[in-house]
Amino acid sequence: MKRTLFLIVIFQSLCLGTLAQKGLAVQSAFDELAVEKNATEVLLGAGRLKEYRLSLFHSLEIKRPSAGQRRRIDALVQKDAAQALLHEETAGHCLYELPQRGGTHCYIFYRCTEQYIILMYIEGKATLKQIKSYFLKQS
């Protein structure tokens, strides 16, 4: 019995480890709002992100968000932002670097306008500077 329980615990921890943003407040945003009719969710694994030195990209884009959606996401992001190591809040976007998980950088990127909301949870070896430089170059 003990052995079975031990195996179950190991199995669950391995599975949960892959659900990266587990334990963060923004997880609720992905869970609750991804099913809304104006929501688009994008999920990419490490195999598709090698060139960016990232291991996970999970985003939620909401077009023409309602006031309620905006308020909900904003509150969840602010909750995680409270534990961020680094904040970068400009007029255009908010970038938060969260404490590392197993030597991996974790970021929340957030942008909210009248037209859309984009919420991203990103993990990888790349630093914030590297990510920014890469995507600034892309544009």
Partner 1 sequence: MTQHDLSYWEHLAERYFQAETTDEEESLLRAFLCSKEAQDPRFDEVRATVAYLHVSRQSLTPHASPGRREAGGLLLAIAASLCLAFFLGWYQYRQHNISRVRVAGENVEADASLLMQRQMAEMFNPTDPADR
- Contact positions vs partner 1 (CB under 8 A): 3, 7, 11, 14-15, 18, 34-48, 57, 59, 61, 90-94, 109, 111-116, 118, 120, 131-132, 135-136, 138-139
Q: What span, in angstroms and rounded, lies between the C-alpha atoms of 84 and 77? A: 10
Query: Shortest Cβ distance from residue 39 to partner 1 (Å)?
Result: 6
Residue 98 or 120 with smaller CB distance to partner 1: 120
CB atoms within 10 A of CB 114: 8
Query: Shortest Cβ distance from residue 83 to partner 1 (Å)?
Result: 20
Q: What span, in angstroms and rounded, lies between the C-alpha atoms of 75 and 72? A: 5
Residue 8 or 85 with smaller CB distance to partner 1: 8
Residue 49 DSSP class: -
Structure tokens that stand for 121 in this block: 């949870």
